[in-house]
């Protein structure tokens, strides 16, 4: 459409004041930096999913153990090694169903999947490969001459375990000592998240202050503070944990926390120092100095808020590694001590019964994976949201 021709030549010549549209010239109503970050973060479906996942795990880990009805340490050895998904045999003489666990214990299960008891074993005919059990006065036979072992009906026929049902007594089954895996997994998640919180706190507090002071002060202070960081980061973490365990006399959560707090801030300190070094030459910091603001105020008001992007990204990247380190230390036996449940100790416990009961390893391992993935997704999303330029690069 031709705008120039639709106008009669003698129309619209009245003068208008300059800036008649001044409102349009004023800056558009914008967002603060953090509103902008949140806007970009919301666009990331994966990161949002990770965040929701973490929230769910946190709620479950805090509230869950009290709702399952089991304690993390209570053992029910008669119901050990029962998986979450039961293959059951139906015998004509009983309303209940029977589950044969990998150690040839026979467990009576109600039709709705509740575990009743372990059926008492009365004898074992090793020649015929046949076990006998006492079921309310009647005798029940288990034939293990062929794989898989099967119960015999009164006619001596093998009854295959054809009916399947979810274990409603122990939703995720029991471990080798008859402890509820669900409770222990939730407990393990709680410890993992606690480690995450500790790692984040330590990072935020010690790392930021240490790095900020070092970078802003510069000179000899910087050099000596950074040498300390170098020394700390050259000694392996396992060594710290062992030493701290020796000193404290006991292991457990405390030694992991102390070990993480003593060393885990060094990466953050380096990041913050780098940021402080580059920010302190910026003109807005110089402007604050010409005003007469002290170093503390400059750090608090100018340097830390402007370094918050890299700080958050570093923190979200360090948290999964802290979780992993806790799991790893517990796995190799120098972390959380039994009977406390950590995802790492659960994995280790599961190793002895791995062939027969792989779920005992898979469940805590899956929990570790989910937590780490969730943190990584959130971290990636945050990094992209904080630094949109990074994202645009091909």
Partner 1 sequence: MTAPMPLLAVEALTKHFPSGTRDKPVRALDGVTFTVRRGETFGLVGESGCGKSTCARTIIRLYQPTDGRIRLDGTDITSLSQRQLRPFRRRMQMIFQDPYASLNARMTVRDIVAEPLAVHESALPKAEVTERVELALSQVGLSREHLLRYAHEFSGGQRQRIGIARALILHPELILCDEPISALDVSIQAQIVNLLRQLQEDLDLTYVFIAHDLSMVRYMADRVGVMYLGQLVEVADAPALYSHPLHPYTQGLLASVPVPDPAADLVARPPAIEGDVPSPIDPPSGCRFRTRCPLARPICGEASPALTDTGDGHEVACHLYGGPGQSPDHPSTTTTSDHQNHLGGNPT
Partner 2 sequence: MTATGPTTPLERAPVAEAPLLSVNDLHVTFRGRSGQDSRNSVYAVRGVSFGLGRGDTVGLVGESGSGKSVTALSLVGLLPDTADVTARAITLADEPITGLSPKAMRALRGRRLAMVFQDPMTSLNPLMPIGRQVAEMLTTHERGLSRAERRQRVIDLLADVRIPEPDKRYKSFPHEFSGGMRQRVMIAMAMALRPEVLIADEPTTALDVTIQDQILRLMRRLQRESGTSILLITHDLGVVASLCSRVLVMYAGLILEEAPVDQLFARPLHPYTLGLLGSLPSARADTDEPLQSIPGQPPDMTNPPPGCPFVDRCQHARARCQTHRPPYYSVGAGHRSLCWLLDPAAPADGNPFAGVTATALAETAEKVSP
Q: What is the 3-state secondary structure (H, E, C) of 94-121?
A: CCCEEEECCCCCEEEECCCCCEEEECEE
Residue 306 interacting partner from partner 2, partner 1, none (CB closer than 5 to 8 Å by kind)? partner 1
- Footprint (CB under 8 A) of partner 2, residues 167-196: none
Non-local (6+) Cβ contacts of 172 within 8 A are 84, 180, 181, 182, 185, 359, 363
> In the complex with partner 2, which residue's Cβ is closer, 9 or 281?
9
Non-local (6+) Cβ contacts of 104 within 8 A are 131, 142, 144, 149
> In the complex with partner 2, which residue's Cβ is closer, 7 or 390?
7
Strand, helix or coil at 254?
Answer: helix
Q: Is 18 in the site for partner 1 (CB under 8 A)?
A: no
- Footprint (CB under 8 A) of partner 2, residues 9-38: 9-22, 24-25, 28
Question: Smallest distance, Å, CB 188 to partner 2?
Answer: 40
> In the complex with partner 1, which residue's Cβ is closer, 85 or 284?
284
Residue 282 interacting partner from partner 2, partner 1, none (CB closer than 5 to 8 Å by kind)? partner 1
Considering only 4, 32, 250, 392, the residue that binds partner 1 (CB under 8 A) is 32
Non-local (6+) Cβ contacts of 209 within 8 A are none
Considering only 167, 192, 214, 306, the residue that binds partner 1 (CB under 8 A) is 306
Non-local (6+) Cβ contacts of 149 within 8 A are 100, 104, 142, 143
Q: Is 3 in the site for partner 2 (CB under 8 A)?
A: yes
Q: CA 217, CA 225: separation in Å to the nearest integer?
A: 10
Q: Would you put residue 69 in left (φ > 0), alpha (ψ -120 to 50) or beta?
A: left
Side by side, the strands of the sheet bearing 120-125 are 120-125, 130-135, 138-143, 150-152, 158-159
Give the x-and-dash track for 43-82 against partner 2 (CB under 8 A).
x---------------------------------------
Q: CA 197, CA 257: separation in Å to the nearest integer?
A: 10
Beta bridge partners of 174: 180
The continuous run of DSSP H or E covering 379 comes out as helix 359-386
Q: Is 287 in the site for partner 1 (CB under 8 A)?
A: yes
Query: Considering only 20-28, 257-265, 311-319, 344-352, which stretch makes contact with partner 1 by CB under 8 A?
Result: 20-28
The continuous run of DSSP H or E covering 234 comes out as helix 219-234
Question: Smallest distance, Å, CB 207 to partner 1?
Answer: 19
Alpha helix (H) residue ranges in 280-342: 283-291, 295-298, 304-331
Residue 249 interacting partner from partner 2, partner 1, none (CB closer than 5 to 8 Å by kind)? none
CA-atom Rg of the chain in angstroms = 32
Site size toward partner 1, by CB under 8 A: 24
Considering only 56, 223, 284, 332, the residue that binds partner 1 (CB under 8 A) is 284
Query: Considering only 1-9, 25-33, 269-277, 361-369, which stretch makes contact with partner 1 by CB under 8 A?
Result: 25-33
> In the complex with partner 2, which residue's Cβ is closer, 355 or 389?
389
> What is the binding site for partner 2 (CB under 8 A)?
1-4, 6-7, 9-22, 24-25, 28, 43
For partner 1, the binding residues (CB under 8 A) are: 26-28, 30, 32-33, 282-284, 286-294, 297, 301-302, 305-306, 308
């Amino acid at each position: 459409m031709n705008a120039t021709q639709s106008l009669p030549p003698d129309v619209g010549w009245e003068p208008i004041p300059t800036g008649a549209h001044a409102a349009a010239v004023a800056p558009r109503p914008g967002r603060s930096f953090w509103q902008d970050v949140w806007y970009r973060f919301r666009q990331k479906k994966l990161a949002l999913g990770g965040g929701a996942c973490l929230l769910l795990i946190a709620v479950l880990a805090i509230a869950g153990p009290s709702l399952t009805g089991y304690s993390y340490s209570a053992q029910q050895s008669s119901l050990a090694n029962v998986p979450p998904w039961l293959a059951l045999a139906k015998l004509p003489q009983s309303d209940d169903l029977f589950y044969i666990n990998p150690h040839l214990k026979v467990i009576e299960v109600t039709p709705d999947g509740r575990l009743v008891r372990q059926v008492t074993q009365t004898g074992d005919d090793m020649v015929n490969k046949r076990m006998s059990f006492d079921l309310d006065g009647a005798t029940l036979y288990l034939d293990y001459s062929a794989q898989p072992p099967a119960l015999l009906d009164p006619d001596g026929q093998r009854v295959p375990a054809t009916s399947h049902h979810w274990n409603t007594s122990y939703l995720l089954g029991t471990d080798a000592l008859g402890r509820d895996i669900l409770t222990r997994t939730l407990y393990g998640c709680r410890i993992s998240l606690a480690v995450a919180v500790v790692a984040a706190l330590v990072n935020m507090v010690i790392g930021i202050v240490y790095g900020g002071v070092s970078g802003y002060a510069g000179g000899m202070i910087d050099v000596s503070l950074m040498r300390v960081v170098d020394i700390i980061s050259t000694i392996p973490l396992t060594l710290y944990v062992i030493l701290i365990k020796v000193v404290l006399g006991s292991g457990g959560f405390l030694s992991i926390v102390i070990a993480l707090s003593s060393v885990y801030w060094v990466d953050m300190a380096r990041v913050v120092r780098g940021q402080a070094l580059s920010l302190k030459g910026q003109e807005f910091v110089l402007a604050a100095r010409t005003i007469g603001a002290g170093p503390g105020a400059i750090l608090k008001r100018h340097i830390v808020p402007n370094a918050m992007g890299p700080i958050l990204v570093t923190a979200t990247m360090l948290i999964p590694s802290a979780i992993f380190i806790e799991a790893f230390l517990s796995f190799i036996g120098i972390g959380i001590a039994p009977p406390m449940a950590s995802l790492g100790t659960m994995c280790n416990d599961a190793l002895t019964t791995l062939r027969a009961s792989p779920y005992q390893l898979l469940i805590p391992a899956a929990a570790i994976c989910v937590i780490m993935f969730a943190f990584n997704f959130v971290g990636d999303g945050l990094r992209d949201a904080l630094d949109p330029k990074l994202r645009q690069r091909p």
